[in-house]
Amino acid sequence: MKIMLAGGAGYIGTHTAIALIEAGHEVFVVDNFSNSCREAVRRVEKITGSEVRLYEADCCDYMSVRMIMSKEKPDSVVQMAGYKAVGESVAKPISYYRNNLDSTLTILEVMAECGVKSIVFSSSATVYGEDNPVPYTEDMPRGRCSNPYGWTKSMIEQILEDAAAADPSLSVVLLRYFNPVGAHESGLIGEDPQGIPNNLMPYITQVAVGRRDKLTVFGGDYDTPDGTCRRDYIHVMDLADGHARAVDYAAAHKGSAIFNLGTGIPYSVLDMVNAFSDACGHPLNYVIGDRRAGDLQDCWADAEKAGRILGWKATRGIAEMCRDSWNWQRNNPKGYADSEEDSDEEDDEE
Ligand code: UDP
């Protein structure tokens, strides 16, 4: 199949491109590089030996999306184009609602015009909200989210379910990501956040490589064995493989379906710090600080449904997650920044 990866130049998108290509699909990327770069897609081409056409366009821009989709005529869209920083979403809610909802609505409108009948959406475990008990199962109601980012995911899930209910020929798959970490085992691509990382793993890797002084662990007084929060960390290549299964599922099933993409195994912040120290071979400088506003104590998946229906299961453990995150950061201390300076525009299709 031919797959359009909307927002495909980012961390999850580039890894997903590899999994899709390795599963035999043809992939093209649409991205405005608001939090990503061309170099990452070039490296996907290097890893896979396949061409990945790259369109620089904003998925909120109806004319651009229509031009691209009518030219390429994809069989399916994987919609990952959106802002994702929780703290920023609290400061800039309008921008988050505008961008994340508009990009999805625009893609849905253009899909209807171009006869594209299948969409896989990057959702998040954050839609379970504050009230559901762990482990989360897909049949739990979407909960009260603690920030606008989470609400955009929750609202878009609703929009996509409504769209599927109204059009019996449409296939919608909602993938609820838990905490993606790690990198492709080549060390050529990985997570490269702009500015100070919000998420735990890129913060850890930047401390380990000397870009930051120390990690602050947000809260040591939670009701957990070591006092720190627990999450369901999942290797990004396992997550990427989940997308390949989801695209196949969407091709074969109409209507909407939800799948958790997690391991089902919780690890605490200190578990991650310790596993990472083992991977990089030296202790990590950290202090225990205050709790971060809006953090849940516990968040992990019941991963049974994806196993049963998609035939997908995460296979990489915490040691591989840390090893591959470290391999990427050690080989690319400044992320993609160095090679960006040498980049040119030659593979831009527009
Ligand atoms: N965390 C931390 N220090 C950091 C960043 C994150 O202690 O600098 C903790 C955070 O409190 C949470 C876990 O690491 O318990 C995962 O946080 P992240 O932001 O990566 O993902 P979240 O699950 O909050 O979306």
Atom of ligand 1 nearest to the CA of 269: 14
Do 48 and 188 touch, CB atoms closer than 8 A? no
Question: Which tokens hold the place of 8?
Answer: 């495909």
How far apart, in Å, are the Cα atoms of 81 and each of 142, 220, 338? 21, 34, 25
Pocket lining: 216 vs ligand 1, CB cutoff 6 Å: yes
Do 217 and 286 touch, CB atoms closer than 8 A? yes
Judged on CB neighbours under 10 Å (0-12, 13-18, 19+), 313 is middle
* pLDDT at residue 340, as a whole number: 61
Q: Cis omega before residue 148 (within 30°)?
A: no
* DSSP output for 59-81: TT-HHHHHHHHHHH--SEEEE--
3-state SS, residue 233: strand
Pocket lining: 297 vs ligand 1, CB cutoff 6 Å: no
Q: How far is the CA of 118 from the centre of ligand 1 (A)?
A: 33
Q: How far is the CA of 252 from the centre of ligand 1 (A)?
A: 37
Do 78 and 239 touch, CB atoms closer than 8 A? no
Among 269, 272, 288, 322, which residue has the most ligand 1 atoms within 8 Å of its CB, making it the best to mutate? 269
Atom of ligand 1 nearest to the CA of 291: 11
Half-sphere exposure of 48 (CA within 13 A, CB side): 24
Do 259 and 309 touch, CB atoms closer than 8 A? yes
Atom of ligand 1 nearest to the CA of 199: 20
How far apart (Å, rounded) are the C-alpha atoms in residues 190 and 333? 11
Do 47 and 19 touch, CB atoms closer than 8 A? no
Question: In which residue ranges of the chain is pLDDT below 50?
Answer: 342-350
Among 145, 218, 221, which residue has the most ligand 1 atoms within 8 Å of its CB, making it the best to mutate? 218
Nearest to 295 by CA among 202, 236, 231, 225: 231
Residue 27 host element (H or E): strand 26-31
Q: How far is the CA of 329 from the centre of ligand 1 (A)?
A: 19
* pLDDT at residue 346, as a whole number: 41
Question: Which tokens hold the place of 105?
Answer: 């609505």
* pLDDT at residue 339, as a whole number: 75
Q: How far is the CA of 4 from the centre of ligand 1 (A)?
A: 31
Beta strands in 307-347 (DSSP E): none
Considering 11, 55, 136, 149, which one is annotated as catalytic? 149
Say whether 55 is catalytic: no
